[in-house]
Amino acid sequence: MKRLTILAATATLLSMTALASAAETANIWVRADGSNFMPQIVEAFNKSHENQIKLDIIPNAEIVQKYATSAAGGTAPDGLSLDLIYTPAFAAAGQLEDITDWAKSLPYFKELSPAHVKTGTYKDKIYGLPFSADSSVLIWNKKLFKQAGLDPEKGPTNFAEIAADAEKVAALGGEIKGFYFSGACGGCNIFTFTPLIWASGGDILSADGSKATLDTPQMRDAIALYRGMVEKGLVPEGAKTDSGANFFAAFAGGNIGITPSGAFAIGALNTQYKDIDYGVTFLPGKDGGSSSFAGGDNFVVTKGTPKLAVLKEFLDYAYSLEGQTLLASRGSLPVRGDIAKEALKDLDPRYQIAAEAMAKGNTPYSVVFNDIINSANGPWAQMINEVFFGDDVDGALANAQETMQGIIDAGTGQ
C-alpha cells in the first residue's frame, strides 16, 4: 500500500513537472504610452495563467523603427501593441501574421471597435485586432461658461455654437480665451480637427487610402471655423507655434473655455487638476452630428512566431469583462462595444461619452500614414498651420493635395 502511495505521488509530481515544462512565455512590446495599462494587464494574466507574457516597454519615438528593424532581422517580439495607424504599413511589408480565421472565430468579433478592425485589415485579410483605445472629444470649462452667462451643463453641438460660446467666454477678458488648439501639431489636429470634417460628411482620404480628398466644402467649413476664431482673438497667440506641448496643458491652466482633446484628459483632469469643473461632449459637424478619431493600439502578431497560442490566450483574457474593466480603470477605453458600459460602470460617467464617441469614430487608412500625416515636414502638418494662420488657404490646400497624392502614389506603386 505504501509502495502504491509513493508511486501515485511520484506520478502526480511528474505530471505537474510536465505541465510546468509545457508552459510557454511569449514576448510582447508596447510603446511607452501604454505603460499606464499594459504592465497591469500582463501582471493579471501571468498570475492567473500557466503560460506567461514577458513585456518590454519601448519609447514612443523608437518603437516603429525598432520593430521594423527587428522584424527584418528575425529578432522581433512575438506580438506587439502597435499604434493602429501603422498596422496597414507593417501588413503591406509582410511582417505580420494573417489572423483572419482566428479573429472571425471570436464570438464577439462584430462588437470590436470598427475603426481598429478597419486599420487592422489589409487586402481583405486581418493582421491586427483592437487592444487599447482613446477617442477625441470636446471639453469645456463649466466655471467659465457660467461666468460668461452660458449654460454650464450644455456643450456646443455645431460650429456656430462653438464660435458663439468661445466668443462669450473670451469676452470675460484678461488671460481668458475662448478656444485652444495646437496649431503646429499634425498629430494633434488629425486627432481633433478631422472629426469636424467627418461629422460634416467629408473626409481627407478615400476609404482605401488611395486618394487624397483635402479640398472639400467640409474641409473649408472647418477651416473657416478655426480661422474665424483666430481672427477674432478668441485663440491664444501661442497656439500658432504650439507643436503639441500645450495640447492638454492649455486647458488645464483654467483660462480656456473650449478645446478639442482626448478621453485621456478625463483621467488627467480628475487626478491632477481637481479644481477644474469641466464637461465632455462629442466633436460636432457644421450643422450637428458628431464624430471622433478612434485612436489607440492594435495587437499584431509577428509573422511566423511559434507562440501564437500564448498570444491568443492573452488576447482572450484582455477581451474578457475582467480584462476590459482592468484596462478601463487604467485609462484605456473598452474595445468591445457589448460590454463597454459594464466595464465603465464604476468610473467617471464622462468616460461613457468618450466610449460612445469611439464607437462611432473613424481612423484614416493609409500605408503611408506617417509620411502624409504625422511627419512634421509632411503635407498635412505643413497645410494646417497655413490654413489656420496664413494668407493663402487655396494655395495651401492645393499644394497639400498634390504633395499628399504624390506620396500615396509612390508608396502604393501607382
Distance CA 314, CA 319 (A): 9
- Beta bridge partners of residue 285, listed in sequence order: 288
Tell me, what DSSP letter sits at residue 337? G
| Cβ pair 151, 168 in contact under 8 A | no
Q: Is the pLDDT of residue 170 over 80?
A: yes
3-state secondary structure at position 11: helix
Q: And the C-alpha cell for 9?
A: 505521488
Topology of 137-293+366-410 in CATH? D-Maltodextrin-Binding Protein; domain 2 (3.40.190)
Q: Is the pLDDT of residue 10 over 60?
A: no
| Cβ pair 314, 102 in contact under 8 A | no
Give the number of C-alpha atoms closer than 13 A to the C-alpha of residue 328, restricted to the C-beta side. Answer: 28
pLDDT score of 19: 45
2-134+294-359 and 137-293+366-410: same fold? yes
Nearest to 66 by CA among 53, 49, 80: 80
Q: And the C-alpha cell for 6?
A: 509513493
The CATH-assigned architecture of domain 2-134+294-359 is 3-Layer(aba) Sandwich (3.40)
Q: And the C-alpha cell for 177?
A: 480665451
pLDDT digits (tens, 9 = 90+) for 185-199: 999 999 999 999 999
Distance CA 388, CA 228 (A): 9
- Angle between the N-to-C axes of helices 321-329 and 38-48, in degrees from 0 to 180, rounded to the nearest 10: 150
User: What is the rounded average pLDDT of the residues 197-203?
Assistant: 98
| Cβ pair 259, 251 in contact under 8 A | yes
Distance CA 169, CA 177 (A): 7
If you average pLDDT over every residue of the chain, what do you get? 94
pLDDT digits (tens, 9 = 90+) for 28-82: 999 999 999 999 999 999 999 999 999 999 999 899 999 999 999 999 999 999 9
pLDDT score of 4: 46
Nearest to 185 by CA among 374, 21, 352, 20: 374
| Cβ pair 222, 216 in contact under 8 A | no
- pLDDT above 90 as % of the chain: 92
Per-position b or e across 14-32, b if 16+ CB within 10 A of its CB: eeeeeeeeeeeebbbbbbe
Confidence of residue 18 (pLDDT cuts 50, 70, 90): very low
| Cβ pair 186, 249 in contact under 8 A | no
pLDDT score of 89: 95
Residue 149: alpha-carbon gap to chain centroid: 34
pLDDT score of 376: 87
In this structure, what is the dihedral angle of CA atoms 102, 104, 107, 113, given to the nearest 10 degrees? 110
In the chain, the amino acid numbered 336 is R
| Cβ pair 165, 151 in contact under 8 A | no
User: What is the rounded average pLDDT of the residues 8-25?
Assistant: 56
β-pairing, 25-31 vs 79-83, is parallel
Q: In the chain, what are the domain boundaries? A: 2-134+294-359, 137-293+366-410
User: What is the rounded average pLDDT of the residues 80-94?
Assistant: 96
- pLDDT above 70 as % of the chain: 94
In the chain, the amino acid numbered 400 is A
- Beta bridge partners of residue 184, listed in sequence order: none
Q: Is the pLDDT of residue 12 over 70?
A: no
pLDDT score of 414: 63
CA distances to 12, 142, 145 from 256, rounded to whole Å, are: 67, 10, 10
In this structure, what is the dihedral angle of CA atoms 60, 64, 67, 72, given to the nearest 10 degrees? -160
Q: Is the pLDDT of residue 360 over 90?
A: no
Predicted model pTM: 0.90
Distance CA 273, CA 204 (A): 35
Nearest to 362 by CA among 206, 156, 216: 206
pLDDT digits (tens, 9 = 90+) for 326-349: 999 999 999 999 999 999 999 999
pLDDT digits (tens, 9 = 90+) for 266-303: 999 999 999 999 999 999 999 999 999 999 999 999 99
pLDDT score of 2: 47
In the chain, the amino acid numbered 200 is S
Confidence of residue 7 (pLDDT cuts 50, 70, 90): very low
pLDDT score of 20: 46
Specify burial of residue 231 (Cβ count, 10 A radius: 0-12, 13-18, 19+). exposed
Confidence of residue 310 (pLDDT cuts 50, 70, 90): very high
Neighbouring CB atoms inside 10 A of 96's CB total 28
